[in-house]
Structure 1
Amino acid sequence: MLVKDRMTPNPICGTLDMPVTKARDLMIEKGFRHLPILDDEQKLVGLLTRGTLLKALPSDVSNFSHFEISYVLGKIKAHTIMIKDMITIEEDTPIEKAAQIMADKHIGCLPVLKEGKLAGIITDNDLFNIMVSLLGANQTGIRIAVLQPDRVGTVALLTNAIAEAGGYLSVNVGYYPEEPPDSWVSVCKVKNISKEALVEVIDNLENMKILDLREI
């Protein structure tokens, strides 16, 4: 899965001289938290976020009326408060790389480029939706987590054994646990098999341990 497969293409953008009040109203109306800013040549030059908008407010808003705050913000242009030193990503980047960048840099979105032009935007909400899809949160079945050695062929051994017993794997993902070392946890969503039969399958496999088993 690549960034271009899950990004929002051709996002709504603002301009350098857009008043902050207009940017704020646009973000509220459309329900998004990030607004790319383009120059006259349609080149990405900045990014407005809800955080940058909050920083534009007077330090003690309690001393100002709503009208006064709107008046002050109306005088401020996007180019004066936008994030200029942005981190961007290419549209053919693997989705896990985008997630790693956003986690490491503690940012909520990445503008996506194609041949130097803004092609889309991907956000932390997009990553949450991808996680829901990958983990099969909307799929019914038996969810099982199995601890196994991190060796060639062990995942195939597990999935083949489940399939041979009549189970259908709608989800098969995994992760490296902190302990024990040299191990792997397979997380599967299985249909067409009973919990008892699934437990029996795993119990007959060497060096595999059920960590969690539940019907969803």
Structure 2
Amino acid sequence: MHASEVMTSDVATVSPDTPLTTIAELLLSRHISGVPVVDSGGTLVGVVSEADLMWRAGGEGTEHRSWWAGLLAGRPLQAADFIRTHGTRAADIMSRDLITVAEDTPIEDVVDLFERRRVKRVPVVRGGRVVGIVSRSDLIKTLALQRPPGDSLVDDRLLQDRLQALLAAQPWLDIARVNAVVENGTARLSGLVGSDTERRALHVAARSIAGIRSVEDNLTVGVTPMGGV
């Protein structure tokens, strides 16, 4: 499965000159957490997220730095802080460190990108232009709710891949300490979880995969080290 199969194609975009008030209204009306910024030629140049808007609304930055922190930051960084805390357009606060994928990027790579870069969404681009966007919710819905065609049996390996991809996308789970395999339609869970709530959530995740008929629980509830160490 590739990004093109799960992405949302009806993508809202804004220009670098779009007022922040307009962007805030757009996020609320579309129930989205971020919006791509494109130039007059349609090329992706940045992304404005809820976090960017909250940073602006909260007035974080230069006025909250201590005298020593301001001195160490230097004038260029102080100026950049001022722009982010006083800007009025998308170009003033947008993230320019673009994280994108192509239409043929495997879903496994998208999941890995979400985990490594701690992002909630990623634009899908073709020739620098946005053709779609994949969010965590898009990915989880597709992986968890996808139904096998007809009454045909689903290969255990495919079910296992879907389950592992779903678990890898969860921020509450230390995936390195949990093992999930599927044999004859049964999800066998083992490893260490931090609470009984996590144990129950793993059961829910396994049962949400169409084709998994039962769950075998060999999990141990204990205290997981912070940071997955």
Q: TM-score range by the shorter chain?
A: 0.5 to 0.7
**Aligned-pair CA distance for 1:170:** 5.0
> For 1:55 and 1:212, how far apart are their aligned partners in 2?
45
When Rg is computed on C-alpha atoms for both structures, the one with the higher figure is 1
Task: Map residues 154-169 of structure 1 onto 2, 5 A cutoff.
Answer: 169=153
Which of 202, 212, 216 is the matching residue for 1:212? Answer: 216
Q: Assess, with a 3 A threshold, how the Cα gap between structure 1 residues 107 and 188 changes in structure 2: closer, same or farther.
A: farther
Task: Name the one with the larger helix percent.
Answer: 2
Q: 4+ residue runs of structure 1 moved beyond 4 angstroms?
A: 175-180, 187-190
Give the paired residue count.
Answer: 150
**Aligned-pair CA distance for 1:92:** 0.7
* Uncovered stretches (5+) of structure 1, i.e. residues with no partner: 61-72, 139-166, 191-209
Q: Assess, with a 3 A threshold, how the Cα gap between structure 1 residues 130 and 51 changes in structure 2: closer, same or farther.
A: same
Aligned partner of 2:122 in structure 1 is 110
Whether 1:133 and 2:145 are equivalent positions in the alignment is yes
8 Å CA contact 1:10, 1:118 repeated in 2: no
**Aligned-pair CA distance for 1:9:** 1.1
Aligned partner of 2:181 in structure 1 is 185
Q: Assess, with a 3 A threshold, how the Cα gap between structure 1 residues 178 and 128 changes in structure 2: closer, same or farther.
A: closer
Identical-residue share of aligned pairs (%): 23
The amino acid across from 1:108 in the alignment is K
> For 2:31 and 2:24, how far apart are their aligned partners in 1?
10
Aligned partner of 2:36 in structure 1 is 36
> For 2:35 and 2:139, how far apart are their aligned partners in 1?
18
Aligned-pair RMSD on alpha carbons? 3.4
8 Å CA contact 2:44, 2:130 repeated in 1: yes
Task: Name the one with the larger strand percent.
Answer: 1
Q: Assess, with a 3 A threshold, how the Cα gap between structure 1 residues 188 and 51 changes in structure 2: closer, same or farther.
A: farther
The amino acid across from 2:30 in the alignment is K
Task: Map residues 46-85 of structure 1 onto 2, 5 A cutoff.
Answer: 46-59=46-59, 76-85=88-97
Q: Assess, with a 3 A threshold, how the Cα gap between structure 1 residues 79 and 179 changes in structure 2: closer, same or farther.
A: closer
Query: Scaled by the length of structure 1, what TM-score is found?
Result: 0.60
Q: Assess, with a 3 A threshold, how the Cα gap between structure 1 residues 10 and 106 changes in structure 2: closer, same or farther.
A: same
**Aligned-pair CA distance for 1:59:** 3.4
* Uncovered stretches (5+) of structure 2, i.e. residues with no partner: 61-84, 165-174, 187-213, 218-229
**Aligned-pair CA distance for 1:116:** 2.4
Which of 148, 156, 160 is the matching residue for 1:174? Answer: 160
**Aligned-pair CA distance for 1:41:** 1.1
Q: Assess, with a 3 A threshold, how the Cα gap between structure 1 residues 94 and 51 changes in structure 2: closer, same or farther.
A: same
**Aligned-pair CA distance for 1:184:** 7.3
Aligned partner of 1:94 in structure 2 is 106
